Chain A
């Protein structure tokens, strides 16, 4: 079964790199440029795992995760936080909001895939 990944980031570069890496690894990739778009996509598609940036316009990653978790439907949806933050801060905030794990940018393709497999059946 092809896993469907929703990637949410306001940086086109990061979206492009994620898309490339993930689709090469056989994932189906959907994209959104901020949390709000992310929610829209989530609601209209069956998503297996979400990768989201934290700093985004309109709706940031923390808000996005909170919104996702607030809906009963998505409690078991794995959400990975993309972060360049080394400070534990952002990571903790993301986790507190309901993030499953995190990926530190710049990410290595293999590592990215292995992290996804770590949170998805």
Chain B
């Protein structure tokens, strides 16, 4: 059943959007915005989740969502007040709904009584509004639940009709069963008297269709009762004058099967169903007389109940009504009173604008079709739906993004090929290339904007995480989010969830202190974690801050020494110690805690972020808190780089991390006691990394002819890379090394140059981290 799987995938997609929506709505509701719009949105979200769940037979989810929805319905119509208690119950309920969805998606089974406690609280709150009817209330829930939803998909497929009928039939059937003995004289023979009221027609029901359906039940004989039709002078076009008597026979025909046919018109007509042999009282005055007064202005009836001939003959539709009635497809059938001239006008009115001949009949039908115009309806069979957004498969967008990226690179390659000589000779070509450059940049921006999404979609998952962490740790934690509308490439967003989760866990687990401790330090008992996003140039900064303890440097250093990450004779700076938490395998938890433990540390954050071309930086203030900053590229597709040579091989360094470049001959190097080299730049000493040496490659250039690339990764100290040559700036598309190989130390990925060769992307931050280890070793 791949169709079913497709639907499920759509459903889970939709659920995750709806869960985000809930998270967002409740953030506002918690903040006091309890207006009807928000409550309606919440109700709809839960309602949609329930609806889909029913279709797939996720009965646990249906049951819970149903109880929750009922409560929301009460809140919505004011029967239950949205107190803070109710709000927090709802937030808890959202989490449970989320768990049910996750379980359904992964095929797990939740405990049968999962969320039972909350469900009972919904009932209790709702029951409180119902006064004494306690038993009836709980009865209702169970009954609705059982009847509507417990049957699984397959059963419903068979029983649906009967189920509906089971609810209604007894009520409807009762009077007759009392009036008439239940035993028909001739089994299977029935007489039906059917008298439609006006509203039956105004709801687009049609006796003809009902007869057709009856005919499907067995042998049928329909007789129209025309005695009520008045003289033509009294004939009211929208009056209802006709009723019918129907004889039906089928061996197993039951009354309920007959009544089911009239299910939709229940209340819109009078129906008598009696077994043959019982006398039908002659047209025993059906309740409201069908001869109502017609209001011409609102001539709401239709004539579909009559035969086609009658329709054609009837004096149709008042002229006064025409302006409000845009012409339908069948002007002939519907408006036979129109002259051919009118008709011609109608047709021309629906064609592209053309002056309407004034000679036309007085009927104002020549008025332009309202709304039907511009939508493209004229193009016959046009299926375009008048919406402002379309949903496109992400694959398709990605294909465009990739192609545009390649185009940008080809363009920059072309530009590079233009030497002075060519420029002087082919000015037109140069101008063309300039325009091409502009256009491709514009194209690239537009395409990237398609894939951009607000970070909200990840941020909105965090409040729940914080609530859970607070419960588990017994701490009081508040989450603040800032800049959640900041947009970033969808592919980056997808990579963001795990690192953010990890960082927030870390803050809650190691950063924020117990309430008592906070109190004793003169801080508020409630710890704050602040999650923010902002754009800074070509990058997005995602910052997780807390007002907790800060990094315990003593312990970090001790652990690092124990693990051999830092040599005993080296005293790292505070900043270096802070960065140690990103070292592979490093975890500060004394015991692997249930929360941020599980044997993985912040190194996971670092490697995830590096994978998408970003960098991570941590700052800490003892006793006051810490801040982790993720610097991410706006897009994953294209990277601005400096192309350099190391040995004979091309390497690229992300432009965002380069401060400046200089020739080695003009740089001041000094030796430090450990044997390493430092570079002196404007009074600052910067660690030097000879990339060729570091990568085990042979450089055959004289030391003075080489170049220094001064780099600074996010917030951390500078580092000077020595390379053999600087070739120039360009844009590249990042390609993964891991796709076919594995991660290589000091390399952030690869890229393909204009000549088809592969260049490697230098992982500046990785080189520095490695350097610390090397010193330690």
Contact = CB atoms under 8 A, between A and B. Distances in A.
B371 A44 contact: yes
Contacts of A75: 201-202, 204, 300-302
B383 interface: yes
Interface in B651-667: none
B206 interface: yes
Interface in A1-38: 10-14, 16-17, 20, 28, 30-33, 37
Contact of B383 (A13, A30, A56, A77): A30
B44 A57 contact: yes
A100 B43 contact: no
Contact of B44 (A10, A28, A30): A10
Contacts of B55: 13-14, 17, 105-107
Contact of B51 (A14, A109, A120): A14
Given A30-B383, A45-B382, A84-B47, A106 B156 contact: yes
A76 B329 CA distance: 13
B194 to A, nearest CB: 15
A72 B324 contact: yes
Nearest to B264: A101
Interface stretch (B5-13, B223-231, B479-487, B748-756): B5-13
A45 B208 CA distance: 26
Contact of A73 (B14, B325, B375): B325
A78 B437 CA distance: 56
Contacts of B206: 76, 119, 121
B392 interface: no
A77 B328 CA distance: 11
A120 B213 CA distance: 11
Place the interface of chain B in its size category.
Answer: 35 or more
A78 B41 CA distance: 28
Interface in A59-109: 69, 71-73, 75-79, 84, 86-87, 95, 98-102, 104-109
B326 A46 contact: no
Interface string B1-38: 00100110011011000000000000000000000000
Contacts of A28: 383
Contacts of B370: 43
A19 B325 CA distance: 29
Given A40-B371, A99-B203, A46 B329 contact: yes
Contacts of A46: 328-329
B213 to A, nearest CB: 6
Contacts of B148: 84, 86, 104
Contacts of B329: 46
Contacts of A107: 55, 160
Contacts of A14: 48, 51-52, 55
A100 B210 CA distance: 12
A44 B375 contact: yes
A119 B267 CA distance: 17
Given A30-B385, A32-B387, A118-B264, A72 B317 contact: yes
Contacts of A101: 205, 263-264
B299 interface: yes
Given A84-B47, A110-B157, A121-B209, A37 B375 contact: no
Contacts of B203: 79, 95, 98-100
B570 to A, nearest CB: 58
Nearest to A87: B144
Interface string B571-608: 00000000000000000000000000000000000000
Contacts of A119: 204-206, 209, 264
A105 to B, nearest CB: 5
Given A40-B386, A121-B206, A111 B14 contact: no
A41 B48 CA distance: 22
A60 to B, nearest CB: 9
B161 interface: yes
Contacts of A56: 44
A43 B204 contact: no
Contacts of A72: 299, 317, 321, 324-325
B385 A41 contact: yes
A85 B301 CA distance: 28
A77 to B, nearest CB: 6
B376 A111 contact: no
Contact of B160 (A16, A79, A104): A104
Contacts of A41: 385-386
A90 to B, nearest CB: 10
B207 interface: no
A116 B549 CA distance: 66
B397 interface: no
Contacts of B267: 95
B10 A79 contact: no
Interface centre among A56, A57, A98, A106 (most CB of B within 10 A): A106
A119 to B, nearest CB: 6
B155 to A, nearest CB: 10
A72 B148 CA distance: 36
Interface centre among A56, A86, A102 (most CB of B within 10 A): A86
Contacts of B264: 100-102, 118-119
24 contacts: A12-B13, A13-B10, A14-B55, A17-B55, A30-B383, A33-B387, A40-B371, A40-B386, A43-B372, A45-B382, A72-B325, A73-B328, A75-B204, A79-B203, A79-B204, A86-B148, A100-B204, A104-B148, A106-B156, A108-B156, A109-B157, A118-B264, A119-B205, A119-B206
Interface of A: 10-14, 16-17, 20, 28, 30-33, 37, 40-41, 43-46, 55-57, 69, 71-73, 75-79, 84, 86-87, 95, 98-102, 104-111, 118-121
Interface of B: 3, 6-7, 10-11, 13-14, 40-41, 43-44, 47-48, 50-52, 54-57, 144, 147-148, 153, 156-158, 160-161, 164, 167, 201-206, 208-209, 213, 263-264, 267-268, 299-302, 304, 317, 321, 324-329, 370-372, 375-377, 382-383, 385-387, 391
List the 10 shortest-distance A-B pairs measured between CB atoms, nearest first: A101-B264, A44-B375, A44-B377, A40-B386, A72-B325, A108-B157, A106-B55, A13-B11, A76-B302, A106-B54
